[in-house]
Amino acid sequence: MKQSIKSRQISRKAIHITDALLKREMELVRDTVIPYQWEALNDQVPDAQPSYCMRNFKVAGKINREKERRKGYTPPVYPTDSICVWPEDPDHLEERFYGFLFQDSDFAKWIEAVAYSLEQYPNSELEKTADNAIELVCAAQQPDGYLDTFYSINDMTKRFTNLKDNHELYCLGHLIEGAVAYYEATGKNKLLLAACRFADCVAENIGPEEGKRHGYPGHEIAEMALARLYELTGEEKYRKLGLYFIDERGKQPYYFDTEHAVKNPSASKLRYQYHQAHLPVRDQKEAVGHAVRAVYLYSGMADFARLSEDNSLKEACERLWEDIVSRKMYLTGGIGATHIGEAFSFAYDLPNHTAYAETCASIGMMFFARRMLLLEQDAKYADIMERELYNGVLSGMSLEGTSFFYVNPLEVLPEACEKDERKQHVKPVRQKWFGCACCPPNLARLITSIGSYIMTESEDTVWIHLYAGCIFTKELDKGKVIISIESGFPWDGHVRIQIEGDTDRPLTIALRIPDWGRDYQISEIEGAESKKRKGYLYLTKVWRADVFELVFPMEVRLIDADSRVRENIGKAAVMRGPIVYCMEEADNGRDLHLLRMDEQAVYDTEKKQIGTETMIAVKAQGFRQNKMEDSLYHLHMPAEYKRTELIWIPYYAWANRGEGEMQVWTRY
Amino acid sequence: MKQSIKSRQISRKAIHITDALLKREMELVRDTVIPYQWEALNDQVPDAQPSYCMRNFKVAGKINREKERRKGYTPPVYPTDSICVWPEDPDHLEERFYGFLFQDSDFAKWIEAVAYSLEQYPNSELEKTADNAIELVCAAQQPDGYLDTFYSINDMTKRFTNLKDNHELYCLGHLIEGAVAYYEATGKNKLLLAACRFADCVAENIGPEEGKRHGYPGHEIAEMALARLYELTGEEKYRKLGLYFIDERGKQPYYFDTEHAVKNPSASKLRYQYHQAHLPVRDQKEAVGHAVRAVYLYSGMADFARLSEDNSLKEACERLWEDIVSRKMYLTGGIGATHIGEAFSFAYDLPNHTAYAETCASIGMMFFARRMLLLEQDAKYADIMERELYNGVLSGMSLEGTSFFYVNPLEVLPEACEKDERKQHVKPVRQKWFGCACCPPNLARLITSIGSYIMTESEDTVWIHLYAGCIFTKELDKGKVIISIESGFPWDGHVRIQIEGDTDRPLTIALRIPDWGRDYQISEIEGAESKKRKGYLYLTKVWRADVFELVFPMEVRLIDADSRVRENIGKAAVMRGPIVYCMEEADNGRDLHLLRMDEQAVYDTEKKQIGTETMIAVKAQGFRQNKMEDSLYHLHMPAEYKRTELIWIPYYAWANRGEGEMQVWTRY
């Protein structure tokens, strides 16, 4: 098996999700999130700040029609110096742009989730709503392909003048993602053509050639979107543009300095860490700055490393990956340890209560991991993908799919969230929606596209990365092979894989052995050739009608952090399979800081119902320290403890039973 | 002994400080801080941002002379909407105001420290410098008594229009403090008259009468200053103005709302907590907002409670005191647990690394404590005064007197101060000076006036609050009594008190028994009547030539915090006498979080030289946890420890040996 074997994404249409947990999540997105989001985009959610997203497209379309009708018509010019414009009187709106300047992208994220959902659950009514929305959006496109309502409504002469802050290329990226997804799902190309025309317009204005702006996005995503557009269309111009964004980034003199006429650029290197634009990407060794932007960039870099077989880019991705997962990631997969700049903090600085750990950043880590897996079939990437999915990602949404976390702390004291401004980014309960609504739609598009994460393939191999229940059909030159996975993941370690083939060609099935599941067992598979490589068990044979079973150990594990993570010294966490556990006040009473684990105790499991979902809780005997509420400071007394039962629930399910304390790391 | 016995401040001129530690500190202020500060006020410190303080007075004086010379001359008008104006080109200054808008107060703090220093150390040259400075300042006074260069240079029509933010009344307060001190020290009244005229001008413009502004200071201090001015002059108008500031505060509708034309005052109650103006002061039960402002206000309240024999005001002071010392104070006496608003956090939220604990706030607690002691002779106030002095206050200045802490954390990791913006208010080493230079001059005036804190007196009683070496002469109707204290405080618990009298009148000496020193011993005093009350041992006799000795226990004490202080759970601190100890990297190596105390160990002491000072260090056998630097997260392993010697040094002396980790609270 050579390093250069390439795997590719499977077609989502070829996979059908049957997994209990993930199917339920997909259905929540279909039944609750997507309809709610559509109402939000159309300002129809009572008591919520209007989005103005679809309204902006309508206004931009109206200006277009006005121009068409009355040649020589010049629309009024509104200011473009504010990132966010909310109307003073919402009952009397002017025909101008309202909302965050990246508001257009909310439509793009919605249409992307709709597309994936339609692949699993065809729905002609939803498709019609989507088609109508696409009409509105396309009507807002300018004659030269430009499509960003913030500038087309406000002042077209200012477009492309603030790539650092004003998110035009971010909107382009999301538009491409949504358009490609909708085309792949429905075969309809109207939005795809609009996205291509916008990309063409950007390429006309930005690039290496003289007379063009030599810029790149302040908020990355266009890179991976252009890679995807290139893969779909085969158009070299999109590959070129995406790669230009990657290669131009961080070059000196900084484009952002030029763009903003910065006179004294001495602080720019530090400042542009926020945008990962402080160094050429190939020279970047540490993950820095805004965590979502960072992993979006790294995802794009991984795409182009693969598409261009660019080894230096691949090595940069590997270094940045390593820096994150070995020094800057929470146990839950959360990244971004500080809310200041929503950014990575320094190595091993992973405070539990003040964590940022944005849901979108965990989703971005899944993007990055999936792309690294396409570059190299190493289970370490899938291990993180799984950690993110079952912990830092799913925690972003309530079990009813109606409320969301932007921030995913590992410890919460509700009083501190309310009273301590240093913790006011941390919410003790999920919120209905957000002014800056990036996380809920991002969750929607991730969950609905989960099929893309379960497996990858090459001509003769199928890699199984996640043991989620599903049925995958691999078409071969002659005939096909159907792989069915049944599992009780993440609660039960038994996995049953059934493979039916009507071909004489041998096929390799590569089974990921999770880092936590090295002591697995597998039933005999007659006639299969097997070998192990980088965390995968490769089984090769001509499959006809085979069934085999894997059993992964589901013992409760106590986990320590590296001793350089200061806040976790003397503390341990509980995991079981891929699931990170936490304690909640609902089960353990108040003052979780008074609890101690008993390292020698038996850690049992029991079924527990939270909301409509049944999951596995962990329980063990531990200790509760007696309170010493004498005076604020008093002579030391040996601590006294009483025995008590400690109960842990899956981290992703926390805050589904009202407000209360929560902690992942507990003293032992 | 009745509740209503009143004590009063002693005359600082009647006390001579002989104490080894405090005398050294006073000499540092005399020899180093005051001269440095004078250079700073005159923009003569190389490599430091100029203060512009004295320059502003000169400019204002010049405008005055110009007006006088050319009647009808209208000075140019500069904007007053910025709290801080620094020149773009420091080599070509316009004749306008520069610096923070409260820059005038830097002179006032300096002259106050100079005054106290002259009382202990007469110095004709320094006095001449001070007299010349006073000439400059007084030349800047307006015909109606107004004296604030920010407005008199920029735009006199705007004065008194922003009492919330613009610190005019803060400048008034400091001017009064400095002027009274200088008068008391030198008998010269030029500055005192200027301060009275400014106070008269304020009283003309602000007060209950129609046509006046019904406002009060955004940053308190004028209250206690006016009380002091009233006590010196006996002028009822100053008592009235100070009490008006206190009683008007927090009334609805809020003056600050009116002043700022706030349309929607719904958030004002919360917002004005910062200024302690959210409620009438008598209704305030919790210490909130900016910690320095708070304790300055409470000090003024305590003054007026005493001067007006106002019981409801006294009770408010007692409640606020109790809230601070039993719920919101660090072990070091530091207050202000959050840098956001330099404010109190909620009860028991006392994070160690992100502490604010401003030096000025600890000084303010000494102001408050001293005034509470005048209201009621209860040693609990002196206990806190002592805790502040030897810990949170002295820590503000380096052992050489050349650098200063604004923020006094209880734990420091230098890497975090540098890289984590949430901790960038915390400095791992003292700074030369500050743009907003409140702490160094505040330290200077506190240390030089320490005589006011050591004792208080009434007709027939002298209370000894601090066992600092000193000689105090009490003049009686007939004859006098000289009390000499010799002590090794804070290192040695032996106190020798010698009393010589030439009077037949009995005098009561009240000796404070510190909360940590209840197991004291006292040598026999022939013929003395003794009783105990609220932490004082009262000894009454006709003193002739008596000598007695007190011995306070100086065993090392391990201290716990209330279990509601989450960050200190499972941790203890070390104290000895009044001194709080800390561990430093210089003695204990890096990674202080890996260290554990052994509760059963013997805690020894040894002399230790830090800089030029000899102090008592504490040492004991403890443990160092072995590092587990395997992977970021790994299977739990029982922690392994090796024995190691732990060394603690006095907290106030930390960061005198370069940059390194420091912690007060250690795991046990």
**DSSP for B163-229, written as a single string:** TTTS-HHHHHHHHHHHHHHHHHHH---HHHHHHHHHHHHHHHHBSSSTTSB----SS--HHHHHHHH
Question: pLDDT averaged over consecutive 10-residue blocks of chain B (668 residues)?
Answer: 67 96 96 94 86 95 92 84 79 87 95 97 97 98 97 94 96 98 98 98 98 97 98 97 98 95 89 97 98 98 97 98 98 96 96 96 98 97 98 96 94 94 91 74 95 96 98 93 97 98 95 97 96 97 96 98 96 98 98 97 97 95 92 95 98 97 98
State whether A565 and B341 contact (CB < 8 Å). Answer: no
Q: What confidence score (pLDDT) does residue A3 get? A: 43
Domain boundaries, chain B: 48-248, 454-551, 556-667
Give the three-class secondary structure for A557: strand
| Nearest alpha-carbon partner for B303 in B251, B383, B360, B246 | B246
Show Cβ contacts of residue A135 under 8 Å, excluding neighbours closer than 6 positions.
Answer: A190
Distances (CA, A) of B387 to A634, B334, B393, B539, B577: 14, 9, 9, 25, 10
A539 phi-psi bin (left φ>0, alpha ψ -120 to 50, beta other): beta
Nearest to A512 by CA among A490, A481, A534: A534
Is it true that the peptide bond before A217 is cis, omega within 30 degrees of 0?
no
| Chain A interface, best mutation among B286, B424, B598, B633, by max A CB count within 10 A | B633
Determine the pLDDT at residue B3: 43
| pLDDT (0 to 100) of residue B421 | 87
DSSP 8-class letter at B274: G
- Report the alpha-carbon distance of residue B446 to residue B360 in Å, rounded: 10
The angle subtended at Cα B116 by Cα B320 and Cα B244, nearest 5°, is: 40
Q: Which two tokens stand for residue A641?
A: 């403890």
Indicate whether A631 pLDDT > 60. Answer: yes
DSSP for A288-342?
Answer: -SBHHHHHHHHHHHHHHHHHTT-HHHHHHHHHHHHHHHHHSB-TTS-B--BTTTT
The token pair at B633 is 């997260």
Mutant choice from A560, A580, A618, A663 vs B, greatest count of B C-beta within 10 A = A560
Residues A505, A591 contacting (CB under 8 angstroms): no
Q: Which of B186, B45, B115, B123 has the alpha carbon at shortest distance from B444?
A: B115
Q: Which residues of B are less than 8 Å from A631 in CB distance?
A: 326, 562
A 10 A CB-CB count for B419 gives 15
Per-residue tokens: B171: 């400048």
CA-wise closest residue to B575 among B553, B592, B559: B559
Average pLDDT, chain A: 95
Strand B507-512 to strand B461-464: parallel, antiparallel, or no bridges (unpaired)?
A: parallel
- From residue A227, alpha-carbon distances to A110, A216, A577 in Å are 21, 15, 34
Q: Which residue has the tokens 């790294």?
A: A298
Q: pTM (2 decimals)?
A: 0.94
Q: Which of A345, A561, A625 sits opposite B563 (nearest CB)?
A: A625
At A599 the three-state DSSP class reads coil
Nearest to A357 by CA among A343, A347, A369: A343
Other CB atoms within a 10 A radius of the CB of residue A203 amount to: 18
Q: Which two tokens stand for residue A510?
A: 């590569």
Q: Which of B111, B86, B110, B90 is nearest to B99 (CA)?
A: B86
Contacts of A623 (CB under 8 A, 6+ apart): A595, A596, A597, A598, A641, A642, A643, A644
Mean pLDDT of A281-286: 98
Q: Does domain A454-551 have CATH number 3.30.70?
A: no
* Helix (H), strand (E), coil (C) string for A116-162: HHHHHCCCHHHHHHHHHHHHHHHHCCCCCCCCCHHHHHHCHHHCCCC
Query: Which pLDDT score, from 0 to 100, does residue B436 have?
Result: 65
User: Please, are residues B580 and B543 in contact by the beta-carbon 8 Å criterion?
Assistant: no
pLDDT at A91 (0 to 100): 79
Candidates B4, B37, B170, B17; CA nearest to B113 is B37
Q: Give the closest-approach CA distance of A635 to chain B in angstroms.
A: 5
What are the C-alpha distances in Å from A617 to residues A162, A553, A581, A605?
A: 50, 16, 8, 6
What integer is the mean pLDDT of A509-513? 98
- What the block records as the tokens of B488 is 């090794």
Please list every residue in chain B whose beta carbon sits closer than 8 Å to the beta carbon of residue A635.
557-560
Q: Report the C-alpha gap between B596 and A568 in whole angstroms.
A: 15
Nearest to B605 by CA among B577, B628, B633: B577
How far is it, in rounded angstroms, from Cα A467 to Cα A471?
Answer: 11
Residue pair A193/A144 in contact by the 8 Å Cβ criterion: no
Encoded tokens for B639: 């922690």
pLDDT at residue B628 in the model? 84
Structure tokens at B396: 């503000």
Just list the catalytic residues of A: 342, 438
Report the C-alpha gap between A84 and A89 in whole angstroms: 15
Cβ contact B628–A572 (<8 Å): no
Residue A294 token pair: 């960072």
* The B494-501 sheet, strands edge to edge: B15-17, B470-475, B480-487, B494-501, B545-551, B521-522
The CA distance from B419 to A343, in Å, is 12
Write out the two tokens for B268.
């004002």
Chain-centroid distance, C-alpha B214: 29
| Mean pLDDT confidence for A310-325 | 98
Tokens of A73: 């018509």
Comparing alpha-carbon positions, the chain A residue that sits nearest to B337 is A420
pLDDT range class, residue A80, cuts 50, 70, 90: confident
- Contact yes or no for A507/A485 (Cβ under 8 A): no
A143 Cβ contact partners less than 8 Å away, ≥ 6 residues apart: none
Which of B569, B625, B635 minimises the CB distance to A593? B569
Q: Give per-residue pLDDT as tens, A113-165.
A: 999 999 999 999 999 999 999 999 999 999 999 999 999 999 999 999 999 99
Residues of A with CB below 8 A from B564's CB? 591, 627, 629
pLDDT at B5: 64
> Residue holding tokens 């320290």?
A625
Would you tell me the crossing angle of helices B291-307 and B222-233 to the nearest 10 degrees?
A: 30
Tokens of A501: 């083939």
d(CA A473, CA A484): 9
**Interface touch B331/A633, C-beta < 8 Å:** yes
Q: How far is CA B553 from CA A180, A199, B530, in A?
A: 79, 80, 21
Burial-class residue A88 by CB neighbours within 10 Å (0-12, 13-18, 19+).
exposed
B296, two tokens: 């300055």
Do the beta carbons of residue B160 and residue B168 sit within 8 Å? Answer: yes
B559 CA to chain A: closest CA distance, Å? Answer: 5
Q: A612, A467, A484, A485: which is closest to A28 by C-alpha? A: A612
Inter-chain CB proximity A420 and B569 less than 8 Å: no
- pLDDT for A75 equals 84
Residue B1 pLDDT: 31
Catalytic residue IDs of B: 342, 438
d(CA B1, CA B335): 34
CB–CB contact A632 B561 (8 Å): yes
Distance from CA of B126 to the nearest CA of A (A): 43
CB contact under 8 A, A629 and B599: no
DSSP A187-201: ---HHHHHHHHHHHH
Residue type, A466: L
Closest CA to A563 of B629, B595, B414, B633: B629
* Residue pair B96/B153 in contact by the 8 Å Cβ criterion: yes
Alpha carbon A11 to its chain centroid, in Å, reads: 20
Query: Which range is least confidently modeled, A5-19, A176-190, A433-447, B644-658?
Result: A433-447
| B49–chain A nearest CA distance, Å | 19
pLDDT of the residue at A477: 84
